[in-house]
């Protein structure tokens, strides 16, 4: 292991992050179980890319069969690709009726920004003040949540996303809504005054990087309305929240009662096979298309389309989104109970099978309660020591992040919670010493 780590550093460099103080080398995986080189098995409570389960036989077979039959670039006709586009579009609300395939979430967001810039004739961009949407040049200058050397572009305005279970807890929801939308108005005015105009707002409807914020009812629709009034487009980043992750709906934006102008997707779309997409309306594509020769060598090739179609098929046949609803409800109940025993954890956050909670340094009700990133990290490491993989997110790095493949079974979800209960008990004892 030490040798492999050294070889990785010597080839890939030391800056591409690895999880855990002692990284784990995995050799294979099946559904929600990963096997390490030393034979230990880990329950996957973290990975949303293997959406329908690691190495799902249907997806593997679809990829292998198509690769053995035909794989070409995207300038020839192929029925699999068109069938998949039709089936994917059927999951979206009208007027979203066109798809552009890409290879990743970053590529999708970058393309969505280009489309919005050309549509509006502006570059001004509204973005959450703690977010990540990808690694291209255009996105690096709009990255507020993780390290990006460039610094923010002059055309970017970060806005604070409210959180009724975080800093805004205890405030009147209508008041939070009002002040948060006033901040949006201010950011729009600032862009206009600086001559940038408004091209778009780009947001993740689960506010995943921010820490699964619970926003006031009407916040996202109010944000969208203001951006459109200013001539900009609404870009819904569904890289984390799409494909039924929240259980409540197929797409995260549907939970907020809006239809974005551009929907970007990636991660779970091919269950690990690299495929992404931008969904948009025909008029918007007709505006962009004639002025831009869009050609993507790999994006949406027959093998990618086979992988994507297999994911849609398995989601439906195994009723995994219904499972996410039931699983999500069980989790919320279990987390509420845990909070009774450990008042230094925050309320359950998230929806469906993307959930977590804040870790504080003392009970939330005590004066001066503050985020406890050190204890959060210890909990993640202690879970790993008990063979359960989870992680952490948020501005203060103190929100535990759990996001298992949708294929997880109720008894396996219970294992995550039971292990968490053990780990919290140990952390509680330590804190009392």
In the complex, the residues that contact ligand PMP under the rule CB under 6 A are 104-106, 109, 132-134, 204, 208, 237, 239-240, 266-267
Nearer to ligand PMP, 240 or 271 (CB): 240
The order of strands in the sheet holding 354-358 is: 349-351, 354-358, 399-402, 391-393
Name residue 99's beta-bridge partners. 279
Distances in Å between the alpha carbon of 401 and those of 44, 106, 209?
A: 12, 21, 10
Nearer to ligand PMP, 78 or 136 (CB): 136
Nearer to ligand PMP, 119 or 133 (CB): 133
Say what angle helices 320-341 and 302-317 make with each other, to 10 degrees: 70
Three-class DSSP category at 202: strand
In angstroms, what is the minimal distance from the CB of 185 to ligand PMP?
Answer: 25
In angstroms, what is the minimal distance from the CB of 238 to ligand PMP?
Answer: 8
In angstroms, what is the minimal distance from the CB of 134 to ligand PMP?
Answer: 4
In angstroms, what is the minimal distance from the CB of 269 to ligand PMP?
Answer: 9
In angstroms, what is the minimal distance from the CB of 264 to ligand PMP?
Answer: 7
Three-class DSSP category at 40: coil
In angstroms, what is the minimal distance from the CB of 425 to ligand PMP?
Answer: 32
Question: 370 exposed, middle or buried (CB, 10 Å; 0-12, 13-18, 19+)?
Answer: exposed
Nearer to ligand PMP, 252 or 302 (CB): 252
Residue among 264, 265, 263, 164 nearest 218 (CA): 164
Nearer to ligand PMP, 253 or 375 (CB): 253
Q: Which two tokens stand for residue 113?
A: 């920004």
Question: 260 exposed, middle or buried (CB, 10 Å; 0-12, 13-18, 19+)?
Answer: buried
Nearer to ligand PMP, 219 or 354 (CB): 354
Q: Which two tokens stand for residue 403?
A: 């996001």
Q: Where are the alpha helices (DSSP H) in 94-218?
A: 105-120, 137-140, 173-193
d(CA 357, CA 400): 6
Nearer to ligand PMP, 105 or 371 (CB): 105
Cis peptide before 174 (omega within 30 of 0): no
Nearer to ligand PMP, 240 or 246 (CB): 240
* DSSP, res 42: E
Q: Are 123 and 154 in contact (CB under 8 A)?
A: no
What residue ranges in 131-231 does DSSP mark as E strands?
156-159, 200-204
Nearer to ligand PMP, 253 or 267 (CB): 267
In angstroms, what is the minimal distance from the CB of 306 to ligand PMP?
Answer: 19
In angstroms, what is the minimal distance from the CB of 274 to ligand PMP?
Answer: 8
Whose CB is nearest to ligand PMP? Answer: 105
In angstroms, what is the minimal distance from the CB of 288 to ligand PMP?
Answer: 20
């Amino acid at each position: 292991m030490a040798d492999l780590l050294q070889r990785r550093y010597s080839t890939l460099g030391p800056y591409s992050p690895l999880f855990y103080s002692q990284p784990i080398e995995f050799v294979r995986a099946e559904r929600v179980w990963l096997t390490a080189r030393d034979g230990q098995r880990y329950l996957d409570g973290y990975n949303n890319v293997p959406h329908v389960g690691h190495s799902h036989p249907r997806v593997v077979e679809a990829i292998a069969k198509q690769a053995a039959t035909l794989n070409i670039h995207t300038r020839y006709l192929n029925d699999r690709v068109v069938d998949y586009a039709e089936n994917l579009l059927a999951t979206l609300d009208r007027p979203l009726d066109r798809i552009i395939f890409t290879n990743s979430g970053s590529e999708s967001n970058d393309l969505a920004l280009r489309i919005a810039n050309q549509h509006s004739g502006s570059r001004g961009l509204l973005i959450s003040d703690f977010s990540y949407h990808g690694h291209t040049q255009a996105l690096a200058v709009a990255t507020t949540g993780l390290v990006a050397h460039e610094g923010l572009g002059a055309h970017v305005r970060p806005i604070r996303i409210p959180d009724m279970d975080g800093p805004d807890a205890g405030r009147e929801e209508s008041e939070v809504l009002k002040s948060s939308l006033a901040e949006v108005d201010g950011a729009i005015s600032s862009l206009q005054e600086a001559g940038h105009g408004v091209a778009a707002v780009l947001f993740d409807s689960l506010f995943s990087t921010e820490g699964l914020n619970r926003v006031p009812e009407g916040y996202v629709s109010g944000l969208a309305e203001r951006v459109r009034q200013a001539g900009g487009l609404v870009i819904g980043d569904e890289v984390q929240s799409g494909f039924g992750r929240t259980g409540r709906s197929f797409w995260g934006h549907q939970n907020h009662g809006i239809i974005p102008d551009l929907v970007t997707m990636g991660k779970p779309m091919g269950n690990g096979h690299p495929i992404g997409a931008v969904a948009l309306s025909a008029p918007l594509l007709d505006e962009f298309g004639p002025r831009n020769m869009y050609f993507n060598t790999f994006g949406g090739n027959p093998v990618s389309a086979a992988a994507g179609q297999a994911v849609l098929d398995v989601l439906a046949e195994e009723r995994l989104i219904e499972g996410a609803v039931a699983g999500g409800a069980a989790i919320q109940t279990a987390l509420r109970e845990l909070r009774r025993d450990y008042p230094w954890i925050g309320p359950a956050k998230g929806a469906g099978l993307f959930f977590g909670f804040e870790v504080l340094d003392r009970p939330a009700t005590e004066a001066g309660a503050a985020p406890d990133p050190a204890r959060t990290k210890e909990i993640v490491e202690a879970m790993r020591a008990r063979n359960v993989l989870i992680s952490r997110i948020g501005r203060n790095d103190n929100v535990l992040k759990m996001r298992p493949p949708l294929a997880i079974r109720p008894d396996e979800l219970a294992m995550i919670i039971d292990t968490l209960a053990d780990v919290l008990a140990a952390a509680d004892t330590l804190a009392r010493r």
